[in-house]
């Protein structure tokens, strides 16, 4: 799998999964950190997209647990949040390679995915 998307908002999950699939990336989706850990344990992703606030763990805590799994120690992770950017402390997202505020800028998401995974955009035709 290319991307493990972890977000507890079902609409956000659907929008982002479809967008990333349309770009050619394989995406697994989890709504909770414990689900994400189980998915990553079975198939280590090449990139994590993690919401900062999850029902069971905060994004940074989830990232620590995910990076403890085999094959995930150096997996790049992008933090996402609907919180006001002034509230998101740099230490909170310190282990992430990038931060995406919600609503998601899909052009930026595409650029970050290409940067970390390579451009897999399928030609339309």
Q: SS in 3 state form for 65-118?
A: HHHCCCCCCCCCEEEEECCCCCCCCCCCCCCCCEEEECCCCHHHHHHHHHHHHC
Report pLDDT for 84. 65
Q: Structure pTM?
A: 0.90
Lowest-confidence pick of 15-19, 54-58, 84-88, 104-108: 84-88
Listed in sequence order, the residues at least 6 apart from 82 whose beta carbon sits closer than 8 Å to its beta carbon are 101, 102, 103
For 79-101, how does the pLDDT look when each residue is reduced to its tens digit (9 = 90+)?
Answer: 998 876 666 656 566 789 998 98
Report the C-alpha gap between 71 and 52 in whole angstroms.
22
- Enumerate domains of the chain plus CATH numbers: 7-112 (3.40.50.2300)
């Amino acid at each position: 799998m290319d991307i493990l998307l972890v977000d507890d908002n079902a609409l956000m999950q659907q929008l982002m999964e479809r967008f990333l699939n349309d770009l050619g990336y394989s995406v697994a989706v989890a709504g909770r950190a414990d689900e994400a850990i189980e998915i990553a344990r079975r198939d280590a992703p090449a990139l994590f997209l993690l919401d900062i606030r999850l029902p069971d763990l905060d994004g940074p805590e989830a990232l620590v647990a995910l990076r403890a799994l085999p094959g995930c120690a150096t997996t790049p992770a992008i933090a996402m949040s609907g919180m006001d950017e002034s509230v998101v402390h740099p230490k909170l997202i310190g282990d992430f390679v990038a931060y995406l505020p919600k609503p998601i800028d899909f052009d930026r998401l595409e650029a970050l995915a290409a940067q970390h995974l390579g451009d897999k955009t399928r030609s339309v035709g």
